[in-house]
């Protein structure tokens, strides 16, 4: 079945006559529309795509599975008009997305029912086309990383490295970055999400680079830690621990395994090595059209089992104040037989880039 048909099949269980989809990412997933100012009203045998005249031509090109309606009552008001005209008495809305202010705009002539995680749950299992786009986003990101390794040198600022990487990925076809590129060097690498600053790269710095790009809507998310010049011996040892944890965690990933089980294993692994207090975040999360999506972040309360077709990150880390930090993050596909690396695995030893003058 198509994505839209999969959603329509969920309506009886939701006990609604239709579902109003307003999250732009969910609208894109269901229709292919890449603009903004849109909503999708989905009934069991029909769908209406609501927008305004700015997007008429774009809808003709991108949307072929819903009837175009140009609103004259606002997006939400138009959804109510359509529902009344077609006898849709109970209509679900995305309660985990819609603001209270927008909820107040829903026409009172229709019975509105809040729903949660309906379309995002469908997005968790990727089809072949989605996998191709994610793999392309990874390919571009990895080419960008190689560019960094080929050009980085002491004296460059973190911001210069990040800007150069971002531009290079765009030159290869990326529409943008998955998130603000993280370049944390030296002691700043002890910050798991240390955004790039004007700090200069120094000889001997260990650098954590967390980056990704967007390709035709789909994202990649990778972290690599490397050194420019000879690094502190302790960080070389820490890198090996994190790398081994990444591999051991990936070996656990399989259909039916809970995220909290994987997360607990990773944290215990690093705890047993004596660094438990320096690893505070979850061990992974789903990716796709969004940088964080189902089956959700792996943490102590992640009760959703993994399923075949999920694409998830695996990202243990150790961050030591006044010294630095290490994270190794890969993107993996859950298959029947376990996890398959979509990213090129990191080296087993800390990569040392020779100092360039």
pLDDT of residue 138: 99
* Poorest-pLDDT segment among 61-70, 106-115, 295-304: 295-304
pLDDT of residue 3: 98
pLDDT band of residue 301 (cuts 50, 70, 90) is confident
Average model confidence (pLDDT) across the chain: 97
pLDDT of residue 140: 99
pLDDT of residue 297: 72
Domain 3-124, CATH 3.40.350.10 — does that match?
A: yes
pLDDT band of residue 103 (cuts 50, 70, 90) is very high
Domain boundaries, the chain: 3-124, 128-353
pLDDT of residue 304: 87
Rounded to the nearest 10 degrees, what angle do helices 259-272 and 233-252 cross at?
150
Residue 174 φ then ψ, to 5°? -70, 145
Give buried/exposed letters for 190-228 (b at 16+ CB in 10 A, else e).
Answer: bebebbbeebebeebbbbbbbbbbbbebbbbbbbbbbbb
Is it the case that residue 357 has pLDDT exceeding 80?
no
pLDDT band of residue 351 (cuts 50, 70, 90) is very high
Is it the case that residue 298 has pLDDT exceeding 80?
no
pLDDT of residue 299: 73
Is it the case that residue 31 has pLDDT exceeding 90?
yes
Q: How far apart are CA 38 and CA 296, in angstroms?
A: 26
pLDDT of residue 1: 83
What average pLDDT does range 294-316 have in this prediction? Answer: 89
pLDDT of residue 313: 98
What average pLDDT does range 295-303 have in this prediction? Answer: 78
* 128-353 CATH, one of 3.40.800.10, 3.40.50.1780, 3.90.230.10, 3.30.360.10: 3.90.230.10
Residue 141 burial (CB count, 10 A): 26
Coil, helix or strand at residue 308: coil
pLDDT band of residue 25 (cuts 50, 70, 90) is very high
What average pLDDT does range 265-280 have in this prediction? Answer: 98
Is it the case that residue 67 has pLDDT exceeding 90?
yes
Contact, 192 vs 317, CB < 8 A? yes
pLDDT of residue 275: 98
pLDDT of residue 189: 98
pLDDT band of residue 45 (cuts 50, 70, 90) is very high
pLDDT band of residue 32 (cuts 50, 70, 90) is very high
Is it the case that residue 356 has pLDDT exceeding 90?
no
Is it the case that residue 326 has pLDDT exceeding 80?
yes
What average pLDDT does range 49-70 have in this prediction? Answer: 98
pLDDT band of residue 81 (cuts 50, 70, 90) is very high
145: exposed, middle or buried (Cβ count in 10 Å: 0-12, 13-18, 19+): buried
| Percentage with pLDDT > 70 across the chain | 100
Is it the case that residue 303 has pLDDT exceeding 90?
no
């Amino acid at each position: 079945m198509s994505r839209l048909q999969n959603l329509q099949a969920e309506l009886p269980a939701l006990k609604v006559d239709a579902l109003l989809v307003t999250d732009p990412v969910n609208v894109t997933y269901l229709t292919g529309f890449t603009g903004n100012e849109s909503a999708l009203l989905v009934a069991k045998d029909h769908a209406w795509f609501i927008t305004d005249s700015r997007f008429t031509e774009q809808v003709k090109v991108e949307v072929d599975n819903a009837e175009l309606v140009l609103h004259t009552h606002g997006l939400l008001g138009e959804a109510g008009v359509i529902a009344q005209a077609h006898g849709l008495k109970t209509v679900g809305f995305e309660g985990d997305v819609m603001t209270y202010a927008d909820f107040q705009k829903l026409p009172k002539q229709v019975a509105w029912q809040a729903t949660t995680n309906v379309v995002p749950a469908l997005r968790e299992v990727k089809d072949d086309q989605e996998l191709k786009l994610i793999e392309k986003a990874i390919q571009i990101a990895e080419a960008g990383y190689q560019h960094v390794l080929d050009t980085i040198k002491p004296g460059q600022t973190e911001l210069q490295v990040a800007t150069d990487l971002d531009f290079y990925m765009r030159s290869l076809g990326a529409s943008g970055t998955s998130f603000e590129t993280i370049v944390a060097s030296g002691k700043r690498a002890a910050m798991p999400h240390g955004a790039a600053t004007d700090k200069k790269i120094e000889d001997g710095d260990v650098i954590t680079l967390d980056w990704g790009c967007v390709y035709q809507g789909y994202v990649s998310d990778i972290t690599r830690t490397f050194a420019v010049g000879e690094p502190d011996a302790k960080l070389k040892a820490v890198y090996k621990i994190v790398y081994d944890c990444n591999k051991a965690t990936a070996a656990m990933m399989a259909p039916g395994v809970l995220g909290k089980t994987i997360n607990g294993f990773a944290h215990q692994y690093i705890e047993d090595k004596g660094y438990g207090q320096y690893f505070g975040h979850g061990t992974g999360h789903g990716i796709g059209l969004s940088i964080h999506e189902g089956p959700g972040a792996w943490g102590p309360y992640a009760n959703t089992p993994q399923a075949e077709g999920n694409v998830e990150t695996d990202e243990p880390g150790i961050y030591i104040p006044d010294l630095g930090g290490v994270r190794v993050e890969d993107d993996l596909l859950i298959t029947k037989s376990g996890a398959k690396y979509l990213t090129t695995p990191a080296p087993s030893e800390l990569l040392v880039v020779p100092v360039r003058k």
